[in-house]
Chain A
Amino acid sequence: MSPSRSSRNSLQSVDLRALDYLTSPSANLLCPICHAPLITPVQTRCLHTFCSACISLSLERSSTCPVDRKPLNHDDVTPAPIMIANLVNDLVVLCPNREKGCTTSCARWLVESHIREDCEYATVKCAKEGCDGMVERREAEGECVHEEVECAFCEGAVRKLDVELHYKECPKLSSDCRHCSKSFPNPELAAHKLICPDEIIDCAASHFGCSFSSRRSELDEHLSHCHFVALTPILQLHTERIETLELENKAIRQKLDLLVPPRPLPTQLSGATSSAANDSSSGRDMTSEMQDYTYHLYSEYEQLRSDVERLNAQIRELDVKQDMARFNEGLRYNDEMTGVRAAINGLRMQLHWLVASRREAGTGGAGAGGARSVAGSSASGDGRRMSVDSVRQVVKL
């Protein structure tokens, strides 16, 4: 290895998670989350072992141990015993550049230095003075592929490396459209693809659930009677509204979170304020400002509560007053009713008397008439006395 080569380190990074292992490792060395050999193993308080990255991700979603569901947070996670780390670091892995042709396999902890310094297929800076291009290490010594050459068709300048790529765009070359099999110059192909009548495309309302797709030229007919397309404006409107509502909801929730924290006792608050006053750190202003703000809110809340209490008391008082008034009025009406009832009774008595006297007078009149025809003119005074007697009898009865 020449000194110039060893000085050219590869900047290619190695993703340990993506490595392939020479032999399948013991199941005891696998992370329960990613099912791959542990990377930077850590141990939880409940003695389960995970990759450091895996358990962090899991804890972001749920504060429990994934294996036994015991409560767990980031502080309960500590590095696993070094022996475990050594066991997984010693596992033999295949070089990540295997697909390019590297056949090296080495212990996992060595793979980074292999890529950085040795691997023939790792990308390194081009050897040519003043060139910023990247090549594989095995080609670094050869001629620079970043030099510009002339395109055989359009006579433009192209980097050697990009010649293949350039042919796809070269205006002097044409290729066939995949759908309608007409030929177009390469640069126009992309534009044609957007209007090609033979391309199979989805209905315009496919994101609202329409599963129809057909050639572009035939889609118009479907669009004219597609229910989803007809509903699109409304669905769009609803989607937008839901989005705005969600945003609003989020803002409101944040506000609520700010307001809801439990109310500190006044003593705590004054204590905190005084300790904040003693504290000369830079966070002082912030905390005291926050406390002022919360204090202000609490006093406002207190005031509102006392207002509500006062209003409640007033309402109760009014209720009592009204009840009393109604009761008094009821009494008055009762009295009046008794008076009216008595009067009616008196009237009934009179009526009764009148009716009875009338009846008496009728029968007495007939008898007296008979007597009168016998006794002649002496009847009138007696008749009166008799009717009084009969009234008395009726009353007695």
Chain B
Amino acid sequence: MFAQKRLGKELSNIHKSLPPGISIASASDFSNWKMDIQVLDTNPLYADQIYRLNFKFSGSYPIEAPEVTFIKEDGRDIPMHPHIYSNGVICLDLLGTNWSPVQNVESVCMSIQSMLTSNTKNERPPGDDTFVRSGYRSPRNINFVYDDNTV
């Protein structure tokens, strides 16, 4: 109830206006939304690419963080980034220990957008192979070590 009310408000705000480079792909219910983001500057890693983010909300959103992952869908790929695993899982403290209920879908999209914009390394996180093979799909079950404050 709490989560739905708040998501309803966010949705009506999103339909009114969104920052450049962020658009809504689908939001048919209050448990799963898809957002498209693109990097607007001339970063050669992400130029002319659109990526799709999958938001999964629990009943205790916004007290609890949503699960946010990149997904391959409609020809969208997983962006190359030292904090994004090739199965789409994003290692970002804002989505884990540093989540704050003041954040919303729009602010999360903007954080991820700027995380991509500032990146210059064309690489995956260390241990990507093992991580992807271990089959974790849900970021909630992972205890990330946020070791890198440069990005």
Contact = CB atoms under 8 A, between A and B. Distances in A.
B62 interface: yes
Interface stretch (B5-13, B25-33, B111-119): B5-13
B43 interface: no
Contacts of A397: none
Greatest chain A CB density within 10 A among B10, B98, B101, B104 is at B101
A36 B6 contact: yes
Contact of A35 (B6, B64, B100): B6
A79 interface: no
A171 B72 CA distance: 52
Interface in B13-35: none
Interface residues of A, number: 17
Contacts of A67: 100, 102
A32 B102 CA distance: 5
A242 to B, nearest CB: 12
Contact of B9 (A35, A62, A66): A35
Interface string B30-45: 0000000000000000
A61 interface: yes
B9 A36 contact: yes
A18 interface: yes
Contacts of A255: none
A58 to B, nearest CB: 5
Given A54-B101, A57-B63, A58-B63, A35 B10 contact: yes
Given A33-B62, A35-B10, A58 B5 contact: no
Interface in B47-70: 60, 62-64
A396 interface: no
Contacts of B64: 61
A34 B9 CA distance: 9
A58 B65 CA distance: 11
A261 to B, nearest CB: 25
A101 to B, nearest CB: 23
B1 interface: yes
B9 A58 contact: no
Contact of A34 (B5, B60, B100): B5
Interface string A33-58: 11110000000000000000010011
A225 interface: no
Given A57-B63, A61-B63, A36 B5 contact: yes
Interface in B114-131: none
A174 interface: no
A259 B129 CA distance: 40
Given A35-B10, A57-B63, A17 B101 contact: no
Given A58-B63, A61-B63, A64-B100, A34 B2 contact: yes
A182 interface: no
A18 B100 CA distance: 23
Contact of B5 (A18, A57, A60): A18
A36 B5 CA distance: 8
Interface string A59-99: 01110101101000000000000000000000000000000
B5 A66 contact: no
A215 to B, nearest CB: 26
Interface of A: 17-18, 32-36, 54, 57-58, 60-62, 64, 66-67, 69
6 contacts: A17-B2, A57-B60, A62-B100, A66-B100, A66-B101, A66-B102
Interface of B: 1-2, 5-6, 9-10, 60, 62-64, 98-102, 104
Given A18-B1, A34-B2, A35-B6, 20 more contacts: A17-B2, A18-B5, A32-B101, A32-B102, A33-B62, A33-B63, A33-B102, A34-B5, A34-B62, A35-B9, A35-B104, A57-B60, A57-B63, A58-B63, A58-B100, A61-B64, A62-B99, A62-B100, A66-B100, A67-B102
